[in-house]
Structure 1
Amino acid sequence: MHVVVNAATSADGKLSSRRREQVAISGEADFDRVDRLRADSDAVVVGVGTVLADDPHLTVKDDALREQRRDAGEPANPARVVVDSTGRTPLDAAVLDDAATTYVCLTESAPVEQRLDLADRAELVTAGDERVDLLRAFAALQNQGLEQLMVEGGGELIFSLFDAGLVDELSVFVGPTIIGGRDAPTLADGDGFVADFPELELADIERLDNGVLLRWHVADEAET
């Protein structure tokens, strides 16, 4: 399995404002890049916080890219994965429509009623007791044939994936704006590291729109 984290941040590293509402950071060139990355992926992954804040559809927007997927024998859109420990995904969420298969990763402690309701609209992956065990969940997704995963946030999930050693690449578009705010979400929130920080190897720098795209490979632990 290959896991690519993709995000857009302000120049000061924020994903959004303290209100956790969508903020226009990227331009058209980056939107096109993200669409191509989705089209090249087997699944797009987000945390439930992103679903609740943005209600994303997580589908390929460009007709030509969807047609290329069909020509290759793939569904028009990649699968969608929501990491949702307690089953908070709204039943009318855009990611639960019929545009693509959706997997919801839950825990054993998720309420039965929510599990039953979500099972009517998505494939359920149960991994962990109180929090989703990402290693087990991603292993289950791989068993479903999902090898190339694109993670689109949010910061809590991204930190947890780095903490679990599951990230292979990180792509960040840094936009020309300042958001600020001690309570505004950052690229990697969660508990944070105090030692054994993940090491990144810079792979590419590209000017895009009025910002910059940075691509890193995550170094193997054995090499750091």
Structure 2
Amino acid sequence: MYVHVNAATSADGKLASRERSQLRISGSADFDRVDASRAESDAVAVGVGTVLADDPSLTVKDQDRVADREADGLSPHPARVVFDSRGRTPSDAVILDDVATTYVLVAEAAPAERRESLAAAGAEVVVAGTDRVDPAAGLDALADRGVERLMVEGGGELIFSLFEAGLVDELTVYVGAMVVGGRDAPTLADGDGFVESFPALSLSGVDRLDDGVLLRWTVESRPG
């Protein structure tokens, strides 16, 4: 599976404020780029923290792109994926509507009543891991369901876990013209962090968009 991580950060590398509130970092040109990337993907993934903070739909917004997917024999929108070890996704979350298939990846430790509630709300609940979702097992389960290209849109904990597991192929980051600050504000890759054997990236593109810059990297080496 090809895994493309995409994010928008402030100039100081923050995804959101210390209150975890959503920030408008990108402008219209970058929003359109993200929409195009979604349309080219089989599935779009986020962590449960992003669902709780932003309640995203993760659907394709441009109707011409929706029509192009349908003309190619695809579903109108890519599948949505939530990495949610304990099954905390609210049953009324937008991501659980019937616009597109939604997979919620949970751990065995997720309470049975939460799994049942999510399934009743329309999710396909996939167990991948014991105490926490195992990223590799989760991606294998998605591959079994036909996902060949996965776009990951955050947050920092999920992005770090995918880098840690050596599963990321491409990273694109839009860096916006703002400073957020705050030692507790989420960054592009949170989690425990690397102290050695850092993932190595190769810069493949730089473009000015809106009032910021888009950076593209391919992953050259993985941890371990």
Identity level (%): 65
Counting matched residue pairs gives: 223
Partners of 2:144 and 2:35 lie apart in 1 by 25
Gaps of 5+ in 1: none
Partners of 1:177 and 1:134 lie apart in 2 by 32
- 1:56 equivalent in alignment to 2:37: no
Q: Which consecutive aligned stretches of 4+ in structure 1 deviate over 2 angstroms post-superposition?
A: none
For residue 81 of structure 1, what is the aligned residue in structure 2?
Answer: 81
User: Aligned to 1:219, what secondary structure does the other structure show?
Assistant: strand
- 1:14 equivalent in alignment to 2:14: yes
Are 2:163 and 2:222, in contact at CA under 8 Å, matched by a contact in 1? no
User: Aligned to 1:67, what secondary structure does the other structure show?
Assistant: helix
Partners of 1:193 and 1:23 lie apart in 2 by 27
User: AA paired with 1:28?
Assistant: S
The Cα shift of 1:119 comes to: 1.4
For residue 41 of structure 2, what is the aligned residue in structure 1?
Answer: 41
Instruction: Give TM-score scaled by structure 2 length.
Output: 0.98
The Cα shift of 1:68 comes to: 0.3
Question: 1:137-152, aligned counterparts within 5 Å?
Answer: 137-152=138-153
User: Aligned to 2:129, what secondary structure does the other structure show?
Assistant: coil
Partners of 1:133 and 1:158 lie apart in 2 by 13
Are 2:160 and 2:193, in contact at CA under 8 Å, matched by a contact in 1? yes
Instruction: Give TM-score scaled by structure 1 length.
Output: 0.98
Partners of 1:197 and 1:76 lie apart in 2 by 38
Q: Deviations over 1:64-108 (max 9, x none)?
A: 000000000001000000000000000000000001000000011
Moved more, 115-124 or 105-114: 115-124
Q: Deviations over 1:43-64 (max 9, x none)?
A: 0000000000000000000000
Question: 1:1-224, aligned counterparts within 5 Å?
Answer: 1-120=1-120, 121-221=122-222
Partners of 1:17 and 1:217 lie apart in 2 by 28
Superposed CA RMSD in Å reads 1.1
Q: Deviations over 1:97-147 (max 9, x none)?
A: 001000000011100100111112111110111110110110010011100
